[in-house]
Each structure stands twice: as structure tokens, then as C-alpha cells.
Amino acid sequence: MPRFGIQTTFVDGTDIAQWAEAFTRPAATVFLETPSNPTLDIIDLKTVCRLAHGAGARVVVDNVFASPVLQKPLDLGADVVVYSTTKHIDGQGRCLGGAVLANDRAWIDDKLAMFLRHTGPALSPFNAWVLLKSLETLDLRMERHCVNALQVATFLESRPEITKVLYPGLASHPQHALAMRQMTKGGSVLAFTIGEGHEAAYRLLNALRLIDISNNLGDAKSLITHPATTTHQRLSAAEKAQQGITDTLVRLSVGLEDVQDVIDDLTQSLEKL
């Protein structure tokens, strides 16, 4: 966005020292995602918001992975929260949508509303109705997502074929304590590494019978993807390496099926490697 006069500084979101260094320069807006896609990094929202506000910056949080049920960034100091409502809020792969929420009524009226009115990113009435109906079951669905995901993550940790499991709800996650301070549960999405290249990951995905290969997440159906060649394929090799997105990394969104069916599907696929 430099042609619009917008300059950007990237930081390792898990490193508070890098945040502090970034705020020694003028800043208008901070944009972050926690947990992050696809490596499930956790960013300390309270600390980053405090530093950002000290520098006069507005904090925008992508809260899709946690959902509004598991994490409430506005209560932790954020100014704006954004969602792809296509994920958990719809939860059944039916419609596209997004939501922008803020705790500043003047900002909504003067900035956001004007943008929506003049540029057109508005939901169709039908999609809005579907999403409103979906909100009625969001709490129940997230509870089941989290129960299932924790069991699947625990199972994957026990398998010799899996070299690492990344899930905020596991004690083995490097930021588990922080995750549990600002989230109520671990969420529906996990990631794991397998093999030494993309070959084992491809074989695993192609052998699955119940779990679908898809870039979506937060769906009633369990969905799996290979980030390096799908969601993050446009990043350079150096950018992928910097973010920990290796050819061995697989992302799994655990759905609402009977969890044993999901584990059985992963088991039969792993046994074919």
C-alpha cells in the first residue's frame, strides 16, 4: 500500500521487544491475528494494546480463529475486531461474509459507515439472515469444536509419524499459558508437521476418507489443508521460512463429527504412509 502513502513495519508478534521497538516510530494502526494462521502463534493482546495506545495507534484484531465465543479482544484493549463470518459464525459452508466491530461509536459513524456506504462491501439480506441464525448456535458449536480438537490434538501427539503438534489447548504449546489467559478454550484449528518434505503431507491428505481437503475452517465438517501450497503459496520461500510455514506443515480444522470418526480417519491415513 505504499502508493497510498501507507508504510508498514512487520514484527514477530510473539516478541514483545519487537513491538516496543516498532512503537518508537510513529504508528497509526496495528493489525494482528491471534491465534495466527496457520502456525497458531499467540500474541499478548493486553500488552500490545497498551504499547500501541501509548504510541497513539489504533489496534485492529483478526479474531477468526478464536471466534467471539473464545476470545474478546475489545475487552482486552483492542479498538476494532474483524471476522470472516464465512468461518465459525456461519459454520456450515453456506455463505461468504465479514464483520467489523468497534468500541468507538464515532469511528463507526464517521469512518466505517462512510466506507461501507460509498464502496459497497455490504452483505446481501439473505446472507445476513443466515449468519444471524447461525449465531444462535455458535456457543454450542464452539464447545463441541474445542472438545473434539483437543482430543484430536492429543491423539496426534501420540503418533510417531507426527513430529510436532501446534494447538493452544495443549500444554505442549509454547504459549499455552498465555493462550489460556486470553482465550477460554483452545479453538477448533490445529497444525502439525509430518515427514521431511511435502510428500508425506500429500500422502496423508490424499488417503483421508472423512476429512475433506479445503482451505476453509470453522465448518461443521473437518477440513484439512497444506498451507505452503494453498493459503500461503504466494509467499516467497524466505517469507514462509520466517513464519514457520514449511512443506511439512498441515493445518486441520476439526469439525462437529463424532470425534472417534475423525481419529479413525487420521489413523487409517497415517497407517498408509
Q: Which residue has the higher pLDDT, 37 or 26?
A: 37
212-238 mean pLDDT: 95
Grid cell listed for 94: 453456506
The mean pLDDT value for 8-30 works out to: 95
CA distance 227 to 241: 12
Tell me if 52 sits within 8 A of 22, measured CB to CB: no
d(CA 14, CA 196): 26
Q: Would you give the DSSP letter of residue 215?
A: S
Tally: H helices and E strands in the chain: 11, 9
Residues 168-201 pLDDT 10s:
999 999 999 999 999 999 999 999 999 998 999 9
Cell numbers of 27, please? 504508528
Give the model confidence (pLDDT) of 52-103 as tens digits. 999 999 999 999 999 999 999 999 999 999 999 999 999 999 999 999 999 9
Alpha helices in the chain (DSSP H): 16-22, 45-54, 67-70, 105-107, 113-119, 125-135, 138-157, 176-182, 198-207, 237-243, 259-270
Q: Give the model's pLDDT for residue 122.
A: 85
| Domain 138-270 fold | Aspartate Aminotransferase, domain 1 (3.90.1150)
Side-chain-facing half-sphere of 67: CA atoms under 13 Å = 29
Distance, in Å, from the CA atom of 208 to the CA atom of 267, rounded to the nearest integer, reads 9
The three cell numbers locating residue 120: 459497497
Task: Give the predicted TM-score (pTM) of the model.
Answer: 0.95
**What's the pLDDT score for residue 1?**
83
- Contact assessment for residue 65 and residue 43, using Cβ atoms and an 8 Å cutoff: no
pLDDT(11) > 90: yes
Tell me the chain's radius of gyration from C-alpha atoms: 19
* The CATH classification of domain 2-135, taken from the options 3.40.50.2000, 3.40.640.10, 2.40.50.70, 3.40.50.300: 3.40.640.10
The pLDDT of residue 34 is above 90: yes
pLDDT top residue among 122 and 83: 83
b/e 124-162 (16+ beta carbons within 10 angstroms → b): eeebeebbeebeeebeebbebbbbbbbebbebbeeeeeb
> In the chain, where are the structural domains located?
2-135, 138-270
